Amino acid sequence: MPITDLLRRNASQNGSGIAMVEINPRSDDAAISWSEYETIESYPQSAKRREMTWKFLDEQSDRVANFLLNRGFGKGSKIALLLMNGLEWFPIYFGALRSGAMVVPINFRNTKEETLGCIELTQADALFFGPEFKNDITAIADELPSVKTFVFVGPDSPDFAESYFSGVGEENAKDTEVPISDEDDAAIYFTSGTTGLPKAILQKHSNLLSVCATEQTHHGQKEDDVFLCLAPLFHTGSMMHWLGSLVSCSGAVLLRDAKPESILSAVSDEGITIAFMLVPWVQDILQAQENGSIDFTNYKLDQWRLMHIGAQPVPAELIMRWKRYFPEQKYDTNYGLSEAMGPGCVHLGVENAHKIGAIGKPGTAWQARIVDESGNPVEQGTIGELTVKGPGVMKCYYNDEESTAASLRGGWLFTGDMGYEDEDGFIFLVDRKKDLVISGGENIYPIQIEDHIRLMDAVKDVAVIGAYDKRLVEIPIAIVALKDGRKCSNDELEAHCEALPRYKRPRRFIFDDVPRSPTGKIEKPKLRAKYGGGAGKRNF
């Protein structure tokens, strides 16, 4: 069955229950409830606290579905979402699914050129976008012939777009009757390989439903739990963890600020019991406590029963520090990737705190094995590539048979991550086969930065690698080789890289030779050994 049936069930059984609270600490507007407004177009977007019930979420999802169906979109259509985290995300997501279309979340940290590439790659038929992207979408709208309908989720809609708050609000909230099977296509998420070129990952409705069962089994959500949703919703991580709340019909809090005091205030004020975190946020909270800028005793934290981390390697020492402050709180590590429908294909398990540092064992209904270059399983203790098999494995890379064949073999997904299995069956990661830098949970693709730096006339060669960072785990640094007799300063490099998104800008520039192999490939292992911070600090 589609996950939209779970939403219908929740609305029927607990319609007045709060499905989602949005907290925006930076807003000066008063706290409001969506139920206070009769029509969606009269509902303010910006407020310090907003909430919606399961009934309202269900009805709004039907309005979105009918809006799309009345414009000719349905099965086979692709509905792109370019939105910051907010309450509107959920009815648009579920409405697209209910219409039978595929939902296509787009990274809101993209440049407009990357956004253009993602939409062109999937040939999206409709695009919902928020006010933060009004200028970018206005600039590229004429370059998107596949997009038949633009929907602006904000005030003062541009001329080429329909208004979400008036257009969707005019549709009837009648139940949609589109038949959807488990094998129907449901969603396209984006990832990238070492080249930085985006790959579109096609997932079926059965994949989405499998995550519900995996997440709820791993973390035991019950109706009285409250989940903290902090990471971007375009990631499979945050959205898929929330599906445990959908199964249990429990509440969630969408927090639009990651400062330590905002997180702890939300946990305290909203009675949060489960939080999915990233390493930098945990680092910041611990640092704030230890430097005296916050005091845990000023917050109600006893009900916070579970903290779990994913999306990047987790330093064991960080969790040990956390457990000193929260000895009774359960902890879990979640390993996943978008090709496996996000987190849960491997997880530590709350009962295995003694194995912190491992990513864990295969998740519910999953298999995992470490293999050699030929795809044959290796002995325990031997390093090889992690492969996984289970109900969340993608259908394919959209319109990319070559990449699909390389990653999917005999039902096994080859992750590109290198690791080993210990004598107790726990998997530890030691390196990544893919040439990625994961900084604060965000994938950074070095070749994009390298290509940009190479545009500078004085630059002969450049290599970008990840260097150890206590807070972000890794940061991108650039090793730059200059042409003979040419000069280039740090300031010039920094100014040139301001054209990149902030999180992709190198944190450090090092002037040195860039070693290459006889076949012309940059020998990044040598550079990592020299500048990456040392294997002893890279606790994967």
Shared domain for 125 and 242, answered yes or no, is: no
Of the three residues 432, 457, 487, the one that is the final residue of a domain is 432
Instruction: Decide: helix, strand or coil at residue 299.
Output: coil
> In this structure, are 315 and 456 located in the same domain?
no
Q: How many residues does the chain have?
A: 540
Q: Tell me whether residue 172 is in a domain.
A: yes
Check if the beta carbon of residue 537 is closer than 8 Å to that of residue 466. Answer: no
Domain membership flag for residue 400: yes
Task: Map tokens 């409709």 to a residue.
Answer: 126
Cα dist. 200→62, 193, 231, 284, 372 in Å?
27, 11, 20, 33, 27
Per-residue pLDDT of the chain (540 residues; tens, 9 = 90+): 899 999 999 999 999 999 999 999 876 655 544 444 444 444 455 678 999 999 999 999 999 999 999 999 999 999 999 999 999 999 999 999 999 999 999 988 888 888 999 999 999 999 999 999 999 999 999 999 999 999 999 988 999 999 998 888 777 788 888 999 999 999 999 985 444 567 999 999 999 999 999 999 999 999 999 999 998 899 888 889 999 999 999 999 999 999 999 999 999 999 999 999 988 889 889 989 988 999 999 999 999 999 999 876 677 878 988 999 999 999 999 998 899 998 899 999 999 988 988 999 999 999 999 999 999 999 999 988 999 999 999 999 999 999 999 999 999 999 988 889 999 999 998 766 767 788 888 878 787 898 899 889 899 889 999 999 988 989 999 999 998 888 999 999 999 999 999 999 999 999 999 987 654 567 888 898 899 764 333 333
Q: Is residue 57 part of a domain?
A: yes
Q: Are residues 450 and 389 in the same domain?
A: no
Nearest-angstrom CA–CA distance, 62 and 231: 26
DSSP state of 293: S
Domain membership flag for residue 200? no
Query: Long-range contacts: 428-431, Cβ < 8 Å, 24+?
Result: 428/357, 428/358, 428/359, 428/540, 429/313, 429/335, 429/359, 429/386, 429/540, 430/383, 430/540, 431/540
- In a domain, residue 211? The reply is no
Same structural domain, 387 and 405: yes
Q: Verify that 268 and 406 share a domain, yes or no.
A: yes
| Number of domains into which the chain is organized | 3
- Among 405, 432, 459, residue at a domain's last position: 432
Range of the domain at 497: 437-531
CATH of the domain at 481: 3.30.300.30
The CB density around residue 208, as the number of other CB atoms within 10 Å, is 24
Other beta carbons within 10 Å of 88: 26
d(C-alpha 316, C-alpha 361), whole Å: 17
Same domain (yes/no): 240, 140: no
Shared-domain flag, residues 320 and 468: no
| Mean pLDDT estimate for the chain | 89
* 68 and 164 assigned to the same domain: yes
Nearest to 122 by CA among 136, 143, 104: 104
**Percent of the chain predicted with pLDDT > 70:** 92
DSSP 8-class letter at 376: P
Same domain, residue pair 395 and 469: no
Residue 81 belongs to a domain: yes
425/443 same-domain check: no
CATH number at 23 reads: 3.40.50.12780
403 and 379 in one domain?
yes
Task: Examine the fold and report which residue of 180, 201, 218 is the final residue of a domain before the chain moves on.
Answer: 180
Q: Would 245 be classed as within a structural domain?
A: yes
Does 185 reside within a domain? no
Type of residue numbered 467:
A
Regarding whether 112 and 79 lie in a shared domain, the answer is yes
Element holding 344 (H helix, E strand): strand 342-347
What is the rounded CA–CA span in Å between residue 451 and residue 449?
A: 5
- How far is residue 442's CA from residue 87's CA, in Å, rounded to a whole number? 23
